[in-house]
Amino acid sequence: ENADVDTHPTWPEELARVYREAGYWRGETFGEVLRARADGCGERVAVVDPVSGARWTYAELDARADSLAAGLLARGIGKGDKVVVQLPNVAEFFEVIFALFRIGALPVFALPAHRFAEIRYFCAFTGAAAYVIAGEHGGFDHRTLADRVRADVPTLRHVLVADADPGSHERLADAHAAPVPVPDPPQAHEPAFLQLSGGTTGVPKLIPRTHDDYLYSIRASNEICGVDEDSVYLCALPAAHNFPLSSPGTLGALYAGARVVLAPQPAPEVAFPLIERERVTLTGLVPPLALVWLDAAAHRTEDLGSLDVLLVGGAKFSEEAAQRVRPTLGCRLQQVFGMAEGLVNYTRLDDPEETVVTTQGRPISPHDEVRVVDADDNDVPDGTDGALLTRGPYTIRGYWNAPEHNAAAFTADGFYRTGDIVRRTPTGHLVVQGRAKDQINRGGEKVAAEEVENHLLALPGVHDAAVVSMPDAYLGERVCAYVVLRAGVEPPRPVQVKKFLRERGLAAYKIPDRIELTDAFPVTGIGKVSKKELRAAITARLHEK
Ligand code: J2J
Structure confidence by residue, pLDDT tens digits, 449-496: 999 999 999 999 999 999 999 999 999 999 999 999 999 999 999 999
Question: Pairing state of beta strands 332-339 and 309-313?
Answer: parallel
Question: Does 143 sit in the ligand 1 pocket, CB within 6 Å?
Answer: no
Pocket test for ligand 1, best of 289, 339, 355, 440 (most atoms within 8 A of CB): 339
Query: How far apart are alpha carbons 460 and 169 in whole angstroms?
Result: 35
Q: Domain 439-544 classified CATH 3.40.50.1110?
A: no
Question: Does 234 sit in the ligand 1 pocket, CB within 6 Å?
Answer: no
Region for 383 from its dihedrals, namely left if φ exceeds 0, alpha if ψ lies in -120 to 50, beta otherwise: left
Q: How confident is the model at residue 163 (pLDDT cuts 50, 70, 90)?
A: confident
Q: What is the pLDDT of residues 440-450, one digit of tens each?
A: 999 999 999 99
Residues 6 or more apart in contact with residue 518 via CB below 8 angstroms: 482, 483, 484
Query: How far apart are alpha carbons 202 and 193 in whole angstroms?
Result: 22
Query: How far apart are alpha carbons 308 and 483 in whole angstroms?
Result: 47
Q: What is the pLDDT, as a whole number, of residue 393? A: 98
ipTM field = 1.00
> Mean pLDDT across the chain, nearest whole number?
97
Query: How far apart are alpha carbons 230 and 95 in whole angstroms?
Result: 22
Q: How confident is the model at residue 199 (pLDDT cuts 50, 70, 90)?
A: confident
Domain residue ranges of the chain, discontinuous segments joined by +: 439-544
CA angle 104, 109, 113 (to 5 degrees): 160
* Protein residue with least CA distance to atom 30, ligand 1: 198
The Cβ of residue 495 has, within 10 Å, a number of other Cβ atoms equal to: 9
Give, as one character, the DSSP assignment of residue 509. G
Which helix (H) or strand (E) segment holds residue 391: the answer is strand 386-391
Q: Cis link prior to 492 (omega < 30° from 0)?
A: no
Question: Does 334 sit in the ligand 1 pocket, CB within 6 Å?
Answer: no
Say if CB 431 and CB 422 are below 8 A apart: yes
Q: What is the pLDDT of residues 401-413, one digit of tens each?
A: 999 999 999 999 9
* Protein residue with least CA distance to atom 16, ligand 1: 243
Pocket test for ligand 1, best of 201, 225, 289, 337 (most atoms within 8 A of CB): 337
Question: Does 335 sit in the ligand 1 pocket, CB within 6 Å?
Answer: yes
Give, as one character, the DSSP assignment of residue 9. -
Query: How far apart are alpha carbons 241 and 196 in whole angstroms?
Result: 8
Angle between helices 319-329 and 287-297 (to 10 degrees): 40
Question: Pairing state of beta strands 259-262 and 232-235?
Answer: parallel
Beta bridge partners of 118: none
Which ligand 1 atom sits nearest the alpha carbon of residue 437? Answer: 27
Reported as half-sphere exposure (CB side, CA atoms, 13 A), residue 538 has a value of 26
Longest C-alpha distance within the chain, in Å? 72
CA of 535 relative to ligand 1 center, distance in Å: 22
Does residue 4 carry a pLDDT above 70?
Answer: no
Question: Does 435 sit in the ligand 1 pocket, CB within 6 Å?
Answer: yes
Does residue 120 carry a pLDDT above 60?
Answer: yes
Say if CB 310 and CB 335 are below 8 A apart: no
**pTM for the model:** 0.97
Beta bridge partners of 173: none
Query: How far apart are alpha carbons 231 and 214 in whole angstroms?
Result: 20
Question: Does 336 sit in the ligand 1 pocket, CB within 6 Å?
Answer: yes
Query: How far apart are alpha carbons 54 and 41 in whole angstroms?
Result: 18
Q: What is the pLDDT, as a whole number, of residue 3? A: 47
Angle between helices 249-256 and 30-41 (to 10 degrees): 40
Which helix (H) or strand (E) segment holds residue 59: the answer is helix 58-74
Q: How confident is the model at residue 6 (pLDDT cuts 50, 70, 90)?
A: confident
Q: What is the pLDDT of residues 258-288, one digit of tens each?
A: 999 999 999 999 999 999 999 999 999 999 9
Question: Does 286 sit in the ligand 1 pocket, CB within 6 Å?
Answer: no
CA of 340 relative to ligand 1 center, distance in Å: 8
Stretch 326-347: mean pLDDT? 98
